[in-house]
A and B are shown apart, each in its own frame.
Chain A
Amino acid sequence: AQKVTQAQTEISVVEKEDVTLDCVYETRDTTYYLFWYKQPPSGELVFLIRRNSFDEQNEISGRYSWNFQKSTSSFNFTITASQVVDSAVYFCALSGVSGGYNKLIFGAGTRLAVHP
């Protein structure tokens, strides 16, 4: 079975603080993809990143960075110098080869509140 766990239900920080959102996944697939999505109050899911299981290089995009560690089945997301506009619910998701990569398995999400 495939499962994604986001243990942090809610995080509250003050603007300019760094914040890390944790994601732990379970899968028996040897090939899979991991995703992060942002869901602002407007409701749509905004794609942030996709990482395949063979690529453990960390990635940085502006204030966002991602740390993929296969050994611990984790794919954590860090926002540096957080801003009020980062306030949203963030979802980690998994898509595996056993499902033809046709199905996203989402975690329960982490609600991030960034206060001025």
Chain B
Amino acid sequence: EAGVVQSPRYKIIEKKQPVAFWCNPISGHNTLYWYRQNLGQGPELLIRYENEEAVDDSQLPKDRFSAERLKGVDSTLKIQPAELGDSAVYLCASSLGPGLYGYTFGSGTRLTVV
């Protein structure tokens, strides 16, 4: 079974440019998470989807970040415009459902804003 697939693996952009990350969760996983991991820190939740609905986006900086999960499968996380402080690893995870179902994480997208 394929795991959680994320692309691109690495991205370098200049500040003020837009950037998008893509996540393909495990087939059948209804819950999808985006986490951000700053250098030397643990991941922090940005947004959680149940199917196509964003049920927890309280940690998402909505002035520049947006996300979507059309048809409740793949998801895209966008930053526009990017700032230097957005440099981090963006991790996607999925699970069968909310709560205590096991989380499976992708390998992440490492974003560097210069």
Contact = CB atoms under 8 A, between A and B. Distances in A.
Main secondary structure on A side of the interface with B = loop
Given A43-B108, A44-B108, A45-B91, A104 B48 contact: no
Contact of B100 (A9, A46, A101, A109): A101
Interface string B80-106: 000000000101010000111011111
Interface residues of A, number: 23
Interface in A82-116: 91, 93, 95, 100-104, 106-109
A32 to B, nearest CB: 11
B69 interface: no
B61 interface: no
A64 interface: no
B99 A43 contact: no
Most buried by B among A43, A50, A91, A93: A43
B45 A103 contact: yes
A12 B3 CA distance: 31
Given A43-B89, A102-B56, A103-B56, A109 B98 contact: no
Given A9-B40, A44-B106, A104-B35, 10 more contacts: A43-B110, A44-B3, A45-B105, A50-B102, A100-B98, A100-B99, A104-B43, A104-B45, A106-B43, A107-B42
16 contacts: A33-B100, A37-B105, A45-B93, A46-B105, A47-B104, A50-B100, A91-B42, A91-B43, A101-B98, A102-B99, A103-B48, A103-B56, A106-B41, A106-B44, A109-B40, A109-B41
